[in-house]
Amino acid sequence: LRIEGDLRNALDHGEFLLHYQPKVDLASGRVVGSEALIRWLHPQLGMVSPARFIGLAEETGLILPIGAWVLRTACTQCRQWQLAGHDDISVSVNLSVGQFLQKDLVSSIADVLADTGLPPASLEIELTESLMMTDVEHAIGILAGMKKLGIRLSIDDFGTGYSSLAYLKRFPIDVLKIDRSFVRDITIDADDAAITASIISLARHLKLRVIAEGVETDEQLDYLRHYGCDEIQGYLFSPPVAAEKFEQILREER
Ligand code: G
Ligand code: G
Ligand code: NA
Ligand code: MN
């Protein structure tokens, strides 16, 4: 219970930070994106995983100010990398259902883009299927509003949720992100291999980009490359890292 009180003050106390995980384009071999992942540096407990506090933040409504902080911080950081010469780097931000249902979501994203100077095309929002399925008509309206801003939309953990393929037609999505539970066993489980190959094929036919998350081995990478996956993200290339370390990775590949 104490953690809830602490969570309330964590923003004011400056205890949150973002780590960034590289997304690598398989055609060029270059880092083209970064997923922003929140961390909480608790004064007594040390680094607390979002798995331990995002749910609590959602229940208490704290996800709204925390999510707003994540969006602004990630966009500010990405713009700094661009101004340092890494022009084509983009950033992805995860959205919680509470944020998605917020009335002024689209205008608040527009404000952050205007304030930070980040080109809209450099921002991607990661959404889950369940988030979009809670109210489909509402979701379609919000997604259309976000697309109008010029940002990219991706479906996170694709294949694990409850959306029907019919909605892929109605949702203006740009990217499918193959869930890491499928990627994990592609080299040993024929079903996971088939599902992964099918998602890649589906994405190509729908003219969506497709990224695989949780890539940990060369064998997984070879399989994904063979089937035409566009991008990968995972420990094989890099875990989520602090902003300074991420920029070092960008500098080293120039
Ligand atoms: O980084 P990682 O291991 O530990 O993240 C654990 C979970 O927390 C993942 O499901 C991830 O999507 C989620 N998460 C990380 N950062 C954010 C964030 O800024 N907003 C939301 N809504 N979820 C996040
Ligand atoms: O739910 P979401 O897909 O946003 O979660 C991202 C989570 O996946 C983060 O907690 C991140 O630390 C974790 N992650 C990133 N790469 C890998 C990986 O290669 N293997 C595993 N097991 N987890 C990963
Ligand atoms: Na994500
Ligand atoms: Mn995911």
Residue nearest to atom 12 of ligand 1 (CA): 94
Summarize the confidence of residues 150-158 as an average pLDDT. Answer: 97
- pLDDT of 96 > 90? The answer is yes
157 Cβ inside 6 Å of ligand 2: yes
Summarize the confidence of residues 103-129 as an average pLDDT. Answer: 97
- pLDDT of 87 > 60? The answer is yes
Site of tokens 């966009």 = 75
- pLDDT of 242 > 60? The answer is yes
Q: Distance from the CA of 114 to the center of ligand 3, in angstroms? A: 24
Taking the whole predicted model, whether its pTM rises above 0.90 is answered as yes
Q: What is the ipTM of this complex?
A: 0.96
Please report the pLDDT score of residue 17 as a whole number: 98
Q: Across-strand partners of 33?
A: 23, 90
- pLDDT of 43 > 90? The answer is yes
Percent of the chain with pLDDT over 90: 92
Please report the pLDDT score of residue 166 as a whole number: 85
pLDDT digits (tens, 9 = 90+) for 209-237: 999 999 999 999 999 999 999 999 999 99
Q: Give the Cα separation of 171 and 181 in Å (integer).
A: 24
Summarize the confidence of residues 115-143 as an average pLDDT. Answer: 95
In terms of Cβ atoms closer than 10 Å to its own Cβ (0-12, 13-18, 19+), residue 160 is middle
Query: With bands split at pLDDT 50, 70 and 90, how would you rate the model's confidence at 254?
Result: confident
Q: Distance from the CA of 21 to the center of ligand 2, in angstroms? A: 9
Summarize the confidence of residues 151-167 as an average pLDDT. Answer: 90
How do strand 16-25 and strand 31-42 relate by DSSP bridges? Answer: antiparallel
- State whether residue 127 is helix, strand or coil: strand
179 Cβ inside 6 Å of ligand 2: no
How do strand 46-48 and strand 90-94 relate by DSSP bridges? Answer: unpaired
Q: Distance from the CA of 217 to the center of ligand 1, in angstroms? A: 22
- pLDDT of 63 > 90? The answer is yes
Contacts of 5 (CB under 8 A, 6+ apart): none
Index of the ligand 2 atom closest to the CA of residue 37: 9
- pLDDT of 163 > 80? The answer is no
Q: Within 10 Å of residue 157's Cβ, how many Cβ atoms?
A: 18
E-only strand ranges, 66-218: 90-94, 123-128, 152-158, 175-178, 209-212
Average pLDDT over the chain, rounded to whole? 96
Determine contact, residues 93/69, Cβ cutoff 8 Å.
no
Q: Distance from the CA of 94 to the center of ligand 3, in angstroms? A: 5
Percent of the chain with pLDDT over 70: 100
pLDDT digits (tens, 9 = 90+) for 12-32: 999 999 999 999 999 999 999
Please report the pLDDT score of residue 1 as a whole number: 57
